[in-house]
Amino acid sequence: METNNTEGLTMFEINVLVQQGGRFVVFPNTISKLFKKFKRSNIYFVRPEENTFKYALKHFFLNLTVSWKAFPWGPVYVVKSLYYLIKGGKDYTQTILDELNQNKPDYNPDVNFLKYS
């Protein structure tokens, strides 16, 4: 799954930002076409000084315009997206970090970077 806002960051930088208060959040979307519904989520890396409101508002309006058509559950999904807008997203920081650390073995916190200088 692709994470947004991590372009150009190394695993070390991501771990430092998470220790400073950064987190990975998800805003669920529901898109409906006639009687079919598709759930998808976007993962955003929110830096410590950043607010999640700009990401949440975009997803809330997307749910407001397209998910209400999936009757009878569509309005429930709109209310759920409003809940995550208020809450600041669904926090998946530990899950994403575990996956990134498994897929990026080049990061080793035990290596002394000064000995290579």
Q: pLDDT tens digit string along 16-61?
A: 999 999 999 988 777 666 555 666 677 889 999 888 888 888 877 7
Of the chain, the end-to-end C-alpha distance in Å amounts to: 35
Supply the DSSP symbol for 92: -
How many CB atoms lie under 10 A from the CB of residue 30?
Answer: 23
pTM value is: 0.71
Q: Which amino acid is at 115?
A: K
In order of 45, 46, 59, 98, the CA distances from 95 in angstroms are: 13, 15, 22, 5
Q: Which amino acid is at 29?
A: N
pLDDT in tens, 17-26: 999 999 999 8
